[in-house]
Each structure stands twice: as C-alpha cells, then as structure tokens.
Structure 1
C-alpha cells in the first residue's frame, strides 16, 4: 500500500509539474525561424535558453516561424500554430510585407486580426515591430512604422518597437546575405527582448 501511495503521489506531482509548464508560441517569419543558422543558434532556442537562465525554467518557446511569411501568411496559420495549449504569443511579422512593398493598410489589418484572435483566446501578446526604410516614400514609412505601437496600445499588447534594434547598424552581426542576423546578432536580440518576454510570461501566469 505504501508503494501504491508513493506511486500515486509521484504521478500527481508529475501531473502538477506538467500543468504548470508555460507554452509561448513565437509566430513570425525567417527572423523567428532562424534562417541560415544551426538549429541551436536560432531565435527560439536562444530565447528559451535565456528564459531558463533567468528564472523561467518551466517555459517552452514554440517555433512558429516560417521563412518568407507575410502578415497574411501568419494570420492564415495562426489557429494551427496556437493549437490547444498556448499560454502566450509573440508576433514578429512584417519584414516580408516590406520587401514586397505591400500596402501598410493590408499589413495592419492582418496584424489586427491576429491580435483580435489572440484576445478571443485570452492570450497575452508581445508584438515586435520593424522600421520601414525610406525608399517607399514618407507616407509609406509613416503608416508602416505607426501600426505596431498603435495596435499594441489598442489591443493591450506588450510592444517591442523594433525586432532588429541593436543589430541593424552593426554589420558584424549579420549573415552574408545582409538580411538575417548571425548567431551573435540573435544573441543581442535575445538579450534585449528577453525581459519583455519575461513580462509576457508573468502576464500569462496572472491570467491563468
């Protein structure tokens, strides 16, 4: 009987530990996916390791990054990416919209739909933005740059104003393609964004 009781207690403890695990889905493009890098050097593995070194040992970060994806693509696969067990969402999208010159109004509508769907699930969101170059003209840049802070405020999301902050002006932190950060660049991004993700995790705990 003692062995049976001990086994039941161990099973309950394991179940409780599993229930306490946090699942953060990172929905993004090649910057999230880790294009051109060994798996361990990508954004998601580095972020998860950073979180665990900084007190969030129970957090798993799910890589829902797809190279080449636009905001429309992210929206189309959102429900599948979240599945049934997501506790929080990181959104890093818009770079491929920029590369294709997509109307910022369309990008904004897609991001807004993502935030609305996440809100319907009760998921806290960290929205990570980008800054548009000036080659599309000042009106395009103004509209693109404004959509991230405005949507974050409207939907109560945490805001990371620029995913590439800290690396965009240091070419030693880029891969040879000039588009994607190298492993050292990803480390810089993770060190900067990590505290925001910890805040996101804390929101998820409070909501849970």
Structure 2
C-alpha cells in the first residue's frame, strides 16, 4: 500500500507539472485540418524510411511520445525503433507525438496522420489522456475520444497497443474509478493490447526526469522502452 501511495504521489506531481510546462492549451474548437501543419512538422524525413521497412509502427501520443526536451534520436519513437532493430526487426517507428495534445486533439488529427502515411501501419501505439486529466476534462469525454480513435484504427484494419495513464489522487475516488478503467475497458471491448501505465518504472524516480520535473530524461526513455519493447515485439510476431 505504501509503495502504491508513493507512486501515486509522484504521478500527481508529474501530472501537475505537465500542463504548466507544456505548450499553450489546445483550442478544442479547432478542426482536423488545423492539426495538419503541426503533424507534418512531426513527420519530418521519416516518411521515406517508412516506405522501405518491412514493419511500420506509428507512435501516436503527446509530449511523452514526442520526445520533449530530448535530442531527436533520444525520444520514445527512435529508441523503440532501435530496440526492435536490435531484436532483429526491420521496422520504422514513426513519431506522431504532439506536445499538449488532449484526446480530443488527437482524435481530430488521427485521420490526417494515417492518410498521409506512405502505407498502412502494421501497429499504432496509442497513448493520450494525461492532458485531459490536467485540464479536468470529464472521464466520459476522454473515454469517448479514445474509443473513437480505437474504432477508427479497427475500421482501417490496424492493430493497436493502448498505453494507459492513471488519475492522480487529488481528483477524488469517483473520478479515479471512472478514469482508470478507460484503458483496460477499451482493451477488453475491442480486443486490443494494453500496456497499463506508460510511465511505469520512471514515475517515482526523480533522477529519470528532466529539470522540469515531468518529462523523462534519455535514461528515463530507456527504462520505458526496455519495459514496453517485449510486448511490442510479441504483437509484431502475432
């Protein structure tokens, strides 16, 4: 119990800082077209490599996926690609992380991202929801947005790995109970894979955070990648 409380305490501090250090709030009235230029910048020169790889993965999330504060090769997507390559996979992991994204913003830009990929991805790793927590958005809305994204991927015939978030204790037991079931419930309903908490192994260790106290260092990303890679590799085998 004490260990769990400690982890939640660090999770709360992490979540409280996430919005303070992030970009300007997302305009929830924006259209999907508004997300286009932002994502085009994220894509960079990854598209050419994606055409030639046997396996294409899209890492679709917020600043935790985007590699905030890190060198280009130190973020989640490039480090996961390196780990899978070392495991013998001919794979490209496309970085579709955008700092500050809520689930609503992610839903608006998902079609744009997928429609502009050189081919259909073999897997989308989907991780959003932290910014919803920080903005006090209703768990029902977060769930609806996440479900719409999972449905969109299912309709396209793309495999999904959900990476979950956890609600901080200051939001109250009712909120926590409603939020924390979102990811496992969707995983069960749509029979998709689930990695329960993206920051597992990092939250609780201040040495694995950048000076802002919220984004993982390169070493923190290594911990995350080390924990999630076996599950990703197993999904690719399936």
TM-score, normalised by the number of residues in structure 1: 0.86
How does 1:8-19 map onto structure 2 within 5 Å?
none
For structure 2, which runs of at least 5 residues remain unmatched after alignment? 1-50
Q: Deviations over 1:95-117 (max 9, x none)?
A: 11111111110000000000101
Counterpart in the other structure of 2:217: 182
Misfit runs of 4+, over 3 Å: none
Aligned residues of 1:133 and 1:141 also touching (Cα < 8 A): yes
Please give the root-mean-square deviation of Cα atoms over the aligned residues, in Å: 1.2
How does 1:35-184 map onto structure 2 within 5 Å?
35-56=68-89, 58-83=90-115, 84-184=119-219
Count of aligned residue pairs for this structure pair: 185
2-structure distance, mates of 1:114, 1:45: 23
Shift of 1:144: 0.9
- Greater gyration radius: 1
Aligned residues of 1:125 and 1:200 also touching (Cα < 8 A): no
For structure 1, which runs of at least 5 residues remain unmatched after alignment? 1-17, 204-208
Counterpart in the other structure of 1:5: none
Shift of 1:87: 1.7
2-structure distance, mates of 1:89, 1:25: 5
2-structure distance, mates of 1:20, 1:32: 21
